[in-house]
Amino acid sequence: MEKKLSGKKPYMPLPKYAAVLRILLLCAGAAFVLAGIFCGELRLLYMKAVFICMECIGLG
């Protein structure tokens, strides 16, 4: 008897360049986050969030 496939494709691993691309994009994202933190953007973002929250509850 033949074994029926359930319509699913067999698992195929990603090509090597796809794994390298994922790692490079992850590192680039982390570098941009760190660059923003060191440029003082974190403090600015926090202050904007506080003002928006205060306006939302009616204190601003």
Q: pLDDT, tens digit, for every residue of 33-52?
A: 999 999 988 888 888 888 88
Question: Residue 27: which pLDDT band, with cuts at 50, 70 and 90?
Answer: very high
- Asked if residue 60 has pLDDT above 70, the reply is no
pLDDT of residue 1: 54
pTM (2 decimals)?
0.55
pLDDT score, position 52: 87
Assess if residue 2 is contained within a domain. Answer: no
What's the domain range around 20? 16-57
Task: Examine residue 1 and state whether it is found in any structural domain, yes or no.
Answer: no
Cα atoms found within 13 Å of the Cα of residue 9, Cβ hemisphere only: 3
Is residue 34 included in any domain, yes or no?
yes
Whether 8 is in a domain gets the answer: no
On whether the CB atoms of residues 9 and 3 are closer than 8 A, the answer is: no
5 lies in some domain: no
DSSP 14: P
Number of folded domains in the chain?
Answer: 1
- Is residue 4 domain-resident? no
Measure the CA–CA gap between 35 and 57, rounded to whole angstroms: 32
Asked, for residue 6, whether it belongs to a domain, the answer is no
